[in-house]
Each structure stands twice: as structure tokens, then as C-alpha cells.
Structure 1
Amino acid sequence: MKKVFVVLFCVILFCRVSVLQAQVIEVGDLTYNVLSDTSVGVLSCSQSAKSVIIPSTIKYKGTSYNVTSIDEGAFADCSYLKSVSISSNVNNIGANAFSDCSSLKTVSIPNGVTNIGFNAFSDCSSLKTVSIPNSVTNIGFNAFSDCSSLSKVEIPNSVVSIEAWAFSGCTSLSSISIPNSVTSIGYGAFSSCTSLTSINVSSDNKNYSSVDGVLYNYAKDTLIQCPGAKVSVTIQNDVTVIGDYSFTDCKFLTSVTIPNSIISIGRNAFSGCFSLTSTVSLTETPPILGHDCFYGCNAKNVLYIPCGSMIVYQSSSWNDWFANRVQCIK
């Protein structure tokens, strides 16, 4: 009998949870998903909305609910939306929450949000500034990618992780500062930022460093990201690895000097550098090249190498990119 009671209780509980999860509430331009007896998440927004205030609570049939999240794709493709104010109860901005909101100019993210999800604001081409509060610990994959009007971002000292491509394609962004709290930066996080002149790192950061505005790991043996507005770069001695996507779409880069300490160059490291005409490699042994390392570079890009290394370079994968355009360093 006891076993039957337990089974019946579980069935009732499951049905209760299922009903809650399936229930939606419409208030004004917003539709909410009931998460529990006391909380809801923003599920969707009217495509015609121009200005939205996400409240801290809503009341429905005599019950008050805290608005605690913005669900996946809630505002995606709301092309008329110009401004959003998010209440302090919200702690999570889900994947694709505001993606492709092409008219969105301002957004107020409250203190309390801990995660800005995958693609959360990607392709918000009118977004000019964003204030990230001190509660945020993670900036997700592609979170602000291709926000082409975004000119200023302040990353607070609460952020631990900046995922891959987080700010890629932010072509109006001129500088970025990495606080000491950041322990992880994904590949291409600041790639294709063609106005970016420097990536600065707090002197107290124990995971990353900056030399001449170029981002390295703390030991300075791996180059992680070159700012997209750089014209000429001499990579410092003792660097052994040029990371994946580290120079991708540096369209103003005309020359790069690779020191003799380099062992490997990552995938797509110099892809899209269509102004690059001089690549100087001081290594006698050709560094290992990742996939599509020099894809989309200038067809007149000349490789300069130590004279005694001509045969070994011509026998390596470097020859795939620089055939008939290799000269000795004199």
C-alpha cells in the first residue's frame, strides 16, 4: 500500500510540474512561461513592439510571479524593438534572447544577471553601448557578435569566462580591457573587430597579458588575439604558438614578423588578411600550419625566410600558400 501511495504521489507531482511548464501567460506585449508557483520567464514578445520594460513581477489571476529569466529566443528578430529595460529579478539572459534585433539601440542589464547566453545579442547592428553589471560571470559564445555599432564595452571584474566569438565582428569597437577576474577567453573572442587598436589586460590578471595591445597568455608564449586595426606586427621573441583565429580579418595588416621561437600557427590564424604583403618568418624550421592558416590573404603576400631554409620551406605546407613568392632574408 505504501508503494502504491508513493507511485501515485510521483504521478501527481509529475502532472503538476508538466502543467506548470506548459502554462503561458500573456501580459501586454510579452508572453511568459510559468517556471514554478512563484516565477516566470519571458517566453516571447510581440514582433511590433518598439520599447519594452520587463517588470520584476507580474500578477495573473490573483497570483504574483517573479520574472527571473529571459528565455531562449524570446526577442529574436524583433526588428522594430529599439530599447529594453530589464528588471532586477532577472538572473539569466538565454541563448538567442535578442539576436537579430536590428533596431535595438539601448539595453539595460540589471545587477543580478550572472549569464549572458549564446548569441544573446548577436547581430544587434544598432546597439551602440552596453553596460555589463558586476554580477555577470560568463559572456557566452557569440554573445555580442556582429554588433557593428557597438563602440564601447566595459567588462566588470566579476567576469570569469569570455567564450569564443563573444565580440567578433564588432567593427566599431576601438579598445577593450580585460579585468583580473577573467580566467578563460575563447578563440576568436575579439576577431574581425576592424577598429580595435588595443586589447588591454589588468596587471593583476594571472592568466593573460598584453604587449603593444596584443593579447597573450600570462607566460607570453602564446599569442591569442591581435587587434583588428593593427597595420604591422612584430611578434615578440619566446612566443612558441600563434593561436587559432588570432589574426583573422585583420584587413589593415600589411606585414608580420614571426620570431625563430615559433613552433606552430593555428587554424585560420591569418585568414582574411587581404592587405598582408610581407610575412617574415625567422624560423629555420617551418612552423606547423593549422587548417586554412593563410586563407583569403593577399595573392601578392611574399614570404621572407632564412636563406638556408629555402628547400625545407618549399617541401612543407608553407609552399601551398606561398608558391613562387618566397625570398631569402638578406
Structure 2
Amino acid sequence: MKPSSTFRQLLVITISLLITICLFLSFKFRALDDSQVFIHVEKAGTLSTLIKSKNKYSITDLTLSGNLNGTDITFIREMTGGGSLKSIKTEGMLTKLDLANANIVEGGDKYFNDFLTKDSSITDYMFAELFKLTKLVIPNNINSICNGAFSGCFNLTTFIVPNNVTAIGDFAFAGCFGLKSISIPNGITSIGNYGFTGCYGLTSFIIPSNVSFIGEYAFTGCSGLQKIYCNSSVSPKVSGTDTFKGIDASMCRLYIPNGTYDDYSNAEGWNYFSNIIEEK
């Protein structure tokens, strides 16, 4: 017995509806994968229980609040393509990470080599080698940025150092050659050895007025720098003569406070520049 024309029409309509629904759901789930994910971590060390394993490596934009320890940082590193060792790589696709309202606390596992977290600190190499990151906002209450904290994150383009930070550690931003701009608060008093070495994407840099020490090779290889503003009324002590090596000494303009030309032009390291301009 052949099916009636009415039945055939209903069958065609039903199949068409099913196809439409499948396409819609596929699009919806794909859109969810690409959208920003917000998660609050009440208890440090539990981030892995709040993200389904199937989503761990597909999330691209993540905002976290709450408390994070070493176990959570390891999980974040894995989501971003890294791991607890430099040799470990994952399929993680996380490129944007916002921790502005999170707290980093002591405890949990070692997150990279033998390093452990401390309260309100970006400890040594915490985000090192996470080259997939294009945006990273660190917690507002951070008070220290330690050695190698963001080294090798060469796809970061902008960065804001929180107001409570007073020192930038050795190698902190070394190799972040994609960095175009960075905002540093007035409370910073020192920039460590190799702090920004290789950041050739920077075209200008403001050294706050409270900086009194800049480590050796701190800006070596920052060949893109065209303007440096040093706001200190007394030239900060510079360690060694190669702190600014690789910057075009005649093309890069060094702007200094009015009345400080003799100080800067005769100070070791600063006398590297031939284009020193007093700001009126």
C-alpha cells in the first residue's frame, strides 16, 4: 500500500523541522563555546569541579572571581595550552582571562616546576610561556609581580599593573614582544633585571616618579621604543651599561623633568641617550 500524499507531505515537513532544529542547536552550542564564561570559585582548589571536562579545552574567554590557589592555577595553565612543566602542552584554547575580582591565595599544588602560590602575589613564572593568551587581567589586589611572571606570553598586547604593586621582578615580561602598551602605577619603586627585555612591540614607556632602581638589561632589545618618559626628579640607579641596549639611542627621545638634564645626561645608563628632552 502506497503512503498517501498527505502522509508524504507530513513526513517531509517533519524531517525539515528536525534538520532545522539540529542546525539551530549546533549553532547555539557553538556560540556558547565561543562566548565568555563566568565562574565564581568559593573554595580555593575547586575550579576543576566547576568546569566540565568536555569544556576544559574549548573555552576561549574566561572570567573568574573568588579564591584561587596553586591547584587552580595549574588548571588554568592547562586550559591555556600549558601545564605544570615547560615541556607539557595541552589542546587548551583559552585566549582571554580576566581575574580582576579573584584572589590568589597560598596553598594547593605546585603550578609550574616547584613554584607555589602566595597570598595576593603573582609568584615566579605563574603565567610564563602561555603564548596563546591575548588578554590577561590580573587581580586588583595583587601587591607583587615576581620573577618571570609573564615571560614568553608573546601574544599579550596590553597590560595593566595594579595600583598596589611596588616592584616588577626579574624577567617579568621578558619576551612579550607582542606587547604594545603597559600601564605602570606610581607606587612602583624598582624594575628587575631583564624585566622587559625583548619587548620590541613597545613604542613608548612611562617610568613612574618613585622608581629608584632599574636592573641590568631591563629594556635590552626594546628596539621599537621611540619615547621614554622618566618622571623621577633624580635619575634612577641603572645597573650596568646595557640596560637600554638595542634601543636606537639617537632616535628614541628621553623625556625627563625640568631642571634634571645635567643629572640624567651624566648618569650611567641614562647617558646612553643622545636625545634627552626636559619637559617644561
- What is the TM-score when the length of structure 1 is the normalising length? 0.50
Question: Quick one: structure 1 residues 59 and 173, their matched pair in 2 at CA, closer, same or farther if it must change by over 3 Å?
Answer: closer
Contact 2:223 2:246 in 1 (8 A): yes
**Is 2:64 aligned against 1:32?**
no
Report the CA distance shift for 1:177/1:55 in structure 2 as closer, same or farther (over 3 A). Answer: closer
Query: Are positions 1:226 and 2:272 aligned together?
Result: yes
> Which residue of the other structure, out of 147, 166, 169, is the alignment partner of 1:95?
147
Say whether 1:45 aligns with 2:45: no
Identity of aligned residues (%): 26
Distance 1:207 1:25 in 2: 54
Q: Aligned with 1:25: secondary structure?
A: coil
1:229-252: CA deviation from partner (whole Å, max 9, x where unpaired): x8xxxxxxxxxxxxxxxxxxxxxx
> Aligned to 1:176, which of 228, 250, 274?
228
State how 1:143-162 maps to structure 2 within 5 Å. 143-162=195-214
- What SS is found at the alignment partner of 1:171? coil
1:113 partner amino acid: V
Q: Is the 8 A contact 2:122 2:144 kept in 1?
A: yes
| RMSD, aligned α-carbons | 3.3
CA contact (8 A) 1:191 1:225 kept: no
After superposition, the Cα gap between the structure-2 partners of 1:227 and 1:59, relative to the gap in structure 1 and judged at 3 Å, is: closer
Task: Give the 3-state SS of the residue equivalent to 2:120 in structure 1.
Answer: strand
**Which of 232, 244, 252 does residue 197 from structure 1 map onto?**
252
Q: Number of aligned pairs?
A: 187
- Counterpart CA distance in 1 for 2:124 and 2:157 is 20
8 Å Cα contact 2:220-2:245 kept in structure 1: yes
SS at match of 1:199: strand
- Residue ranges of structure 2 left out of the alignment (5+ in a row): 1-43, 49-61, 82-93, 106-116, 276-280
Distance apart, 1:198 and its partner CA = 2.7
Higher relative contact order (CA 8 A, sep 6+): 2
In structure 1, the gaps of 5 or more residues are 1-23, 35-40, 211-215, 231-330
CA contact (8 A) 1:161 1:185 kept: yes
Q: Distance in 1 between matches of 2:205 and 2:125?
A: 23
Read off the aligned partner of 1:197 and give its amino acid letter. C
| Post-superposition offset of 1:170 | 0.5
Structure with the higher fraction of residues in helix conformation = 2
How many Å separate the matches in 2 of 1:33 and 1:197? 41
